[in-house]
Chain A
Amino acid sequence: AQSVSQHNHHVILSEAASLELGCNYSYGGTVNLFWYVQYSRQRLQLLLRHISRESIKGFTADLNKGETSFHLKKPFAQEEDSAMYYCALSSVFNKFYFGSGTKLNVKP
């Protein structure tokens, strides 16, 4: 069965600290992995996906198939990064499965 696990429910950092939000997944087939971000009282929006291997707003995420992980990283956190972050996978049937989310607070 497919699942996404985010073990860090709430992360508090100081500005300029390095950031890593954990994500592990379980899925038997070809998978697409994503990170979505939700700023306070706003809709979810795509942050990045594993296929593109790009950096958005300084964030990166590398897919590790051996560890079935897709951790989100940023070398220097900023106060404006404070938000809810959701790791998600989409299956071949175009269904999206989300983790429980990580609330990130970056303090100035």
Chain B
Amino acid sequence: AQKVTQAQTEISVVEKEDVTLDCVYETRDTTYYLFWYKQPPSGELVFLIRRNSFDEQNEISGRYSWNFQKSTSSFNFTITASQVVDSAVYFCALSEAQGYSTLTFGKGTMLLVSP
């Protein structure tokens, strides 16, 4: 069975600090996909990134970067120079290749960025 663990329940930082959100996953499949979603207070989940299991290259998008390490089954998310607008709950999710895009989510990490 697949599982996603986000051990950090809540993180508080001051604006402009860098912050890393951890994600550890479990799956028996060799082909799978990992995702990060952001959920602001409005409730709507916003897609951030999708990564397949064969692509271990790190990715950077503006202030966001992702570190995928198959050896440790981790897919961590770093926000550089955090801003108040980054305050939200962030979810890591896993989809197995045979799962028709259905997602298994972690419990989420609430990020609070104060001015």
Chains A and B are bound partners: no
**Chain A interfacial positions (CB closer than 8 Å to B):** none
